[in-house]
Structure 1
């Protein structure tokens, strides 16, 4: 198990940690609460976060959401399962030498792939080295085996996945998770595209808990917020 340290040029995304805007920070805490209500009587321990297309803010959303769980003294694990365009290693200044791709191909031990971030109670498994067959790996039984191995170790596991319309990775992973959070960048994604993505998740029988409308501007004096 390694420890992530050093200067992070992506720290502006981690508003829940640096508290750069209390309105944004509170929005993520509200999102955490809403997820708890949306789950009803079913425990949500593994949560997948995805979007329609790239660059909608899903990685920013999942990172800040993870920190709001960690601030409750919950033991939280972030997993970067976007094996095509991973981002979490940049946000948390972590190495991809060992990560999810290594674990799924049995090329490293679990303790080698887990990084302790600079946020208390928050650990990270990066994507690992990029591979040529992410679809086959993410659809394998090894994913479920890994999650079953991790669940007793953490209170909450959040998984960042590829956009739904880009590839089929999210559909494969969604059925292995307790719930799915769907991120939409306000004004960027057409209604038909969003509906198609939701339909794809429904066909996979994913438990979509709700939608995050991202970058929606406030109508009062406050700046744009997540």
Structure 2
């Protein structure tokens, strides 16, 4: 069993009754209701730039999905600056890149955690060609195989403006959630990230605004549906 560390606290697991944990449950509910006639099973979380809280958001979102009795797998597809192995205090010697490069089978890299219903797949060794790996047919086949085992697949990617990885993964997902730091991201950066995702016909479900009111924990996360600009 993998234990989470204090490098990125899982507040939804450590303090499930906190206002922030409740906000994550609201986010989960909003995602579920954003598609009434179809099931959203493969979800991606990204941000415009670095340091906006996307990895914290997707990890806690994975926990609240698992708490709702869904079998969840969380994939670290940030093949440039992976962090999930630090969060869950485990080795990153093998992971999703091991599968995509043919060096391991999928069951060998899926790890259970100390959180019921939650499994993780770390990034694995950082490859020289992350974009090509994520765009490969083997990536599509891996997601299809995971669908047979899990109810929800959550994928963490690099920021949408940094590299093309997020666009590549978004095209393979049922929906995308953008995380933005309201006190950090500039309007033009946010619109550019949105445009990049829409260019590959990604389905943007909505935006998580981080740090809207630093003095009020209840406003720490706020979710709203995607707006037209």
Relative to the length of structure 1, the TM-score reads 0.93
Distance, in Å, in 2 between the alignment partners of 1:45 and 1:21 is 26
Matched pairs, number: 221
2:165 pairs with 140, 163, 169, which one? 169
1:154-193 to 2 correspondences below 5 Å: 154-193=150-189
| Equivalence for 2:195 | 199
Match of 1:30 in 2: 26
Q: How does 1:29-108 map to 2 (within 5 A)?
A: 29-108=25-104
**Structure 1: how far apart are the matches of 2:218 and 2:22?**
14
Equivalent residue in structure 2 for 1:10, among 7, 10, 13: 7
* Contact 2:19 2:218 (8 Å CA) reproduced: no
Shift of 1:186: 1.1
C-alpha displacement of 1:219: 6.6
> Deviation digits for residues 117-159 of structure 1, max 9, x if unmatched?
1111100000001111101111111111100011010010000
SS for the counterpart of 1:162 is: coil
Decide whether the 8 Å contact of 1:16 with 1:64 is kept in 2: yes
- C-alpha root-mean-square deviation of aligned residues, in Å? 1.6
Between the aligned partners of 1:219 and 1:96, the Cα distance in structure 2 is 36
2:12–2:60 Cα contact (<8 Å) kept? yes
For the structure 1 residues 75 and 20, does the alpha-carbon distance in structure 2 shift closer, same or farther, using more than 3 Å as the test?
A: closer
2:204 aligned partner: 208
Unmatched tracts of structure 1, length 5 or more:
none
Give every structure 1 segment of 4 or more consecutive aligned residues whose post-TM-superposition deviation is greater than 3 Å.
none
Q: Which runs of 5+ in 2 are unaligned?
A: 222-229
The Cα of 1:10 is off from its aligned counterpart by 2.2
> Within the alignment, does 1:225 sit opposite 2:202 as a pair?
no
**How far apart are the structure 2 equivalents of 1:51 and 1:163?**
5
> What is the TM-score of this pair, normalised by structure 2?
0.92
Map residues 119-130 of structure 1 onto 2, 5 A cutoff: 119-130=115-126
Asked if the contact 2:20/2:218 (under 8 Å) is kept, the reply is: no
Question: Does the 8 Å contact 1:15/1:21 carry over to 2?
Answer: no
Shift of 1:95: 1.3
